[in-house]
Amino acid sequence: MATFVSRSAWGARAPKKTSADIDASRGGVAVHHTGGTRFAAGSHSSCASQVRGIQNHHMDTNQWDDIAYTYLVCVHGYVFEGRGVGIRTAANGTNDSNYRYYAVCGLVGGTSSSYDTVTEQLIDGFRTAIARLRSVGNAAAAITGHKTFLSTECPGGLSRHMSAMEPGSDGGGDPTDPPDPDVPAFPGVLLHYPPVTVHSSARTWQQRMRDRGWNIAVDGAYGEGSRRVCLAFQEEKGLIVDGVVGEKTWYASWTAPVTTAAARGPGPDLAPNWPGVLFTWPPKTVHPGVRTWQQQMRQLGWDVTVNGAYDKRSREACLAFQKQRGLTADGVVGPATWHAAWTSPPTA
């Protein structure tokens, strides 16, 4: 899985200003590359410097408010935070496309005869970035190239890889075969929401998740409730958390062990709805949902301050709680960690 690099971690300059005038639910994600010259760094130790160089060029030469892209992805599988979720881009070429599409740039370039190697780590980084933009940034399903909006060669050699960037697709490069005849073959349909996916395989998957103990309706319509269960299951099993039932999530539903957390389930009768925001530190996440989670953790006996700011103390409590509950111990409050806070007994 790709590694996320925050702005502070790669040494970003502060933006001159930001604009939240973006609604990617009406568009999706635009793919970019760096240009017609090969660009990929041989060593990952150089990638942060490259990102800083792009930001300097955009702010000092182009006189833009910040680096133009939402995220940038290197060939080593790292996703660098650019403008970030909820911020209007400056990369797509038109006012309308900057309003409706996030922008993700691969740190690769070249010509048709001499192009940087497009690694599996790079494609996985795109999948991770796009999944995050959908789950946190409300991006719609479209994945398109920069040249859709403007007369340009961008995204160059990445154009033929865009179908592999679909979260949950695994790019077709490393298919997961059913481990035994009792596991139904992946149907080839990505279950996602929005919009609601109506398909016979949705009923099959929902029934399997219900058999595993999850609180889910078995109706053949993959909607908000199904996506919420999928997000929690993916986080628990260390999969890409994108809310899409692709090949890996499908097979994990039959092959991954059933845990206590899953058996209790993230039912709406047990916990308030996950607010749709990942609580992380650093930098600290400030959100009304943080206060709700902190209050619940205090009631469970954990030493956290109820202030609505996910800080170092909150992260330390989260890490310990995740280890206790057998969840992925990453210090991030996602859907599985959120729901587990309402299904776990108080600490001794």
Using one digit for the tens of pLDDT, what is the confidence trace for 194-226?
Answer: 888 888 899 999 999 988 888 888 888 888 788
Which residue is listed with tokens 């154009």?
Answer: 159
What per-residue confidence (pLDDT) applies to 176? Answer: 36
Joined together, the tokens standing for residue 35 give 């240009």
**Res. 81 pLDDT band, cuts 50 70 90:** very high
pLDDT at 265 over 90: no
CA 30 to chain centre: 15
Cis previous bond, 178, omega within 30: no
Mean pLDDT of the chain: 86
Helix axes 247-255, 200-211, angle to 10 degrees: 40
- The percent of residues above 90 in pLDDT, for the chain, comes to 51
Higher pLDDT, residue 124 or 179: 124
**Res. 21 pLDDT band, cuts 50 70 90:** very high
What per-residue confidence (pLDDT) applies to 271? Answer: 66
Please give the Cα distance from 193 to 214 (Å, whole number).
18
Closest to 155 (Cα-Cα) out of 221, 72, 279: 72
The kind and range of the H/E element at 142 are strand 142-145
